[in-house]
Amino acid sequence: MERVLITGGAGFLGSHLCDRLVTAGHDVVCVDNFFTGSKRNVLHLIGKPNFELIRHDVTLPLYVEVDRIYNLACPASPVHYQHDPVQTTKISVHGAINMLGLAKRVGARILQASTSEVYGDPEVHPQPEGYLGRVNPIGIRSCYDEGKRCAETLFFDYWRQYDVDIKVVRLFNTYGPRMHPNDGRVVSNFIVQALSNQPITLYGDGSQTRSFCYVDDLLDGMMRMMDTPKGVTGPINLGNPGEFSMLELAEKVLALTGSKSRIEFRPLPLDDPRRRQPDITLAKEHLKWSPTVNLEDGLKETIAYFKTIL
């Protein structure tokens, strides 16, 4: 059994990861400053002997003794990461430096939750890991995109310079139960709007695409990556290659909820990527992983969750 630190452990992905690792019997330390996450997400774990919750901001150093670190702390929704963009870059960059420094000191293996945003608005489709991306360095998404790119740089420099045992996964859009109702990302927005009979806010003409991975699939891939031998560093894409336009997504959510909400078109945010789809050849080869939950089934689970909390 390992001592595992999860930063951002009270967030959407982090809390599911806490569940999995606690259930597997690991000693889990969940660190979060509750910016976008919530104690409610891990309330059911509090009191278990192999779970510990620490309020801490990863831009400050942390001293704990662990064997493995999943570095997930960072707001993931454009609405939230653009709220305080300077802090967003600090979270990615200072957070990576602090967690890599910790990994170096205690000899821990460390996994970085990077993102498909490192590809920016891509000219290559689908996106393989070798594609270097087309990211605007000065736009409103740059605090997140460039912060995550710099974090990847730090991971690879700690590996080359200090032999730290790193793993980098690039996550594509992931959804599921425990997304915050005010998270601002498209799946939670559409479901909350449909269930409360408010207009569905579709940005642009709705032809932009995303590929949505269900949380359970994503965590399978992430945990498999963590278990690979030292030297398997990635970066490796994790996501579901099924690609849908936002209009298709809106129509699916309306059909599955039986909602009478109408679609309301709003301006497309600046630098909103046109298309996104992961090339998961490497994940299939190195992790023997590919997603199994299709969009409709994943949406049904997510809708059922939002019905319980709204």
Binding positions for ligand UDP, rule: CB under 6 A: 77-78, 173, 185-186, 189, 201-203, 208, 210, 246, 269, 272
Nearer to ligand UDP, 35 or 159 (CB): 35
Q: Which residues touch 270 (CB under 8 Å, ≥6 apart)?
A: 139, 140, 141
Q: What's the min distance (Å) between Cβ of 255 and ligand NAD?
A: 23
Nearer to ligand NAD, 33 or 193 (CB): 33
| Cβ proximity of 51 and 39 under 8 Å | no
Nearer to ligand NAD, 183 or 259 (CB): 183
Angle between helices 215-226 and 12-23 (to 10 degrees): 60
Nearer to ligand NAD, 31 or 108 (CB): 31
Residues that bind ligand NAD (CB under 6 A): 7-8, 10-14, 32-37, 57-59, 72-76, 91, 113, 115, 171, 173-174
Q: What's the min distance (Å) between Cβ of 76 and ligand UDP?
A: 8
- Cα–Cα distance between 56 and 35 in angstroms, integer? 11
Hey, what are 120's tokens?
A: 């920016």
Q: What's the min distance (Å) between Cβ of 156 and ligand UDP?
A: 24
Q: What's the min distance (Å) between Cβ of 250 and ligand UDP?
A: 8
Q: Do you find a cis peptide bond into 235, omega within 30 degrees of 0? A: yes
Question: At CA 88, angle to CA 190 and CA 32, rounded to 5?
Answer: 80
| Cβ proximity of 298 and 212 under 8 Å | yes
Nearer to ligand NAD, 26 or 94 (CB): 94
- Cα–Cα distance between 310 and 292 in angstroms, integer? 28
Told to judge if 144 belongs to the known catalytic residues of this protein, a careful annotator would answer yes
Q: Choose the one of ligand UDP, ligand NAD, none that binds residue 78, judging by a C-beta under 5 to 8 angstroms depending on kind.
A: ligand UDP
Q: What's the min distance (Å) between Cβ of 262 and ligand NAD?
A: 27
Q: Choose the one of ligand NAD, ligand UDP, none that binds residue 248, judging by a C-beta under 5 to 8 angstroms depending on kind.
A: none
Exposure letters 273-302 (e unless 16+ CB within 10 A, then b): bebbbbbbebbeeebebebebebeebbeeb
| Cβ proximity of 58 and 99 under 8 Å | yes
Query: Out of 70, 144, 175, 214, which one is annotated catalytic?
Result: 144
Q: Choose the one of ligand NAD, ligand UDP, none that binds residue 59, judging by a C-beta under 5 to 8 angstroms depending on kind.
A: ligand NAD
Which residues are known catalytic residues? 144
